Structure 1
Amino acid sequence: MKRTALSLALLALAGLSGCASTSQPGAAPAATAQTAPDDGIGAEERISFFVNDARSGHLEQVVAALDRGVPVDSVDAVDQTALLAAASKNQFEIAKLLLERGANPEYRDPAGWTPLIHATYFGSSLELISLLVEKGANVNTQNDRGVTALYLAAAGGHEAYVQHLLKLGADPKLSTTAGYTPLRVAQANGLTRIVALLESGATPATSTH
Structure 2
Amino acid sequence: MKHLLVIVFSLAVALLGACTEPDRPSISLFLAVERGDLDQLERHIYWGTDINTALPNGVYPLHAAAQKGRFVMVRNLLKHGALIDQQIADGSTALDVAILAGRTQVAELLLKEGAQLDASALLAKAAQIGSTDRDTVRFLIARGADTEFRDASGDTPLLTAIRQDNHRLASHLVNQGADVNAATADGKSALQLATELKLPEIVSLLTRQGAR
Q: TM-score, normalised by structure 1?
A: 0.63
How many angstroms apart in 1 are the aligned matches of 2:148 and 2:74?
Answer: 29
Unmatched 5+ stretches in structure 2 = 1-28, 34-39
User: Which of 196, 205, 210 does residue 197 from structure 1 map onto?
Assistant: 205
* RCO higher in structure (CA 8 A, sep ≥6): 1
User: Which of 127, 133, 137 does residue 135 from structure 2 map onto?
Assistant: 127
Aligned ranges for residues 171-182 of structure 1 at < 5 Å?
171-177=179-185, 181-182=189-190
1:158 aligns with 2:166: yes
How many angstroms apart in 2 are the aligned matches of 1:167 and 1:198?
Answer: 11
- The answer to whether the 8 Å contact 2:119/2:141 transfers is no
Secondary structure at the aligned position of 2:60 is classed as helix
Q: Compared with structure 1, are the counterparts of its residues 155 and 43 closer, same or farther at alpha carbon in structure 2 (3 Å cutoff)?
A: same
1:186 aligns with 2:194: yes
Residue of structure 1 equivalent to 2:178: 170
- Hey, which of these two has a bigger chunk of helix by percent? 2
Structure (1 or 2) with the larger CA radius of gyration: 2
Q: Which amino acid aligns with 2:30?
A: A
1:115 aligns with 2:122: yes
User: Which of 71, 94, 112 does residue 82 from structure 1 map onto?
Assistant: 94
C-alpha displacement at 1:202, in angstroms? 4.2
- The answer to whether the 8 Å contact 2:183/2:190 transfers is yes
1:67 aligns with 2:91: no
How many angstroms apart in 2 are the aligned matches of 1:164 and 1:64?
Answer: 34
C-alpha displacement at 1:165, in angstroms? 0.9
Q: Give me the identity figure in percent.
A: 25
1:55 aligns with 2:67: yes
Residue of structure 2 equivalent to 1:142: 150
Q: TM-score, normalised by structure 2?
A: 0.62
Residue of structure 1 equivalent to 2:30: 31
C-alpha displacement at 1:181, in angstroms? 4.9
Unmatched 5+ stretches in structure 1 = 1-29, 109-113, 204-209
Indicate the RMSD between aligned Cα atoms, in angstroms: 3.3
Q: Compared with structure 1, are the counterparts of its residues 193 and 171 closer, same or farther at alpha carbon in structure 2 (3 Å cutoff)?
A: same
Residue of structure 2 equivalent to 1:92: 104
1:84-106 CA distance string (max 9 Å, x none): 21233232322233344443331
User: Which of 23, 41, 44 does residue 50 from structure 2 map onto?
Assistant: 41
Q: Compared with structure 1, are the counterparts of its residues 196 and 104 closer, same or farther at alpha carbon in structure 2 (3 Å cutoff)?
A: farther
- The answer to whether the 8 Å contact 1:89/1:122 transfers is no
How many angstroms apart in 2 are the aligned matches of 1:42 and 1:127?
Answer: 29
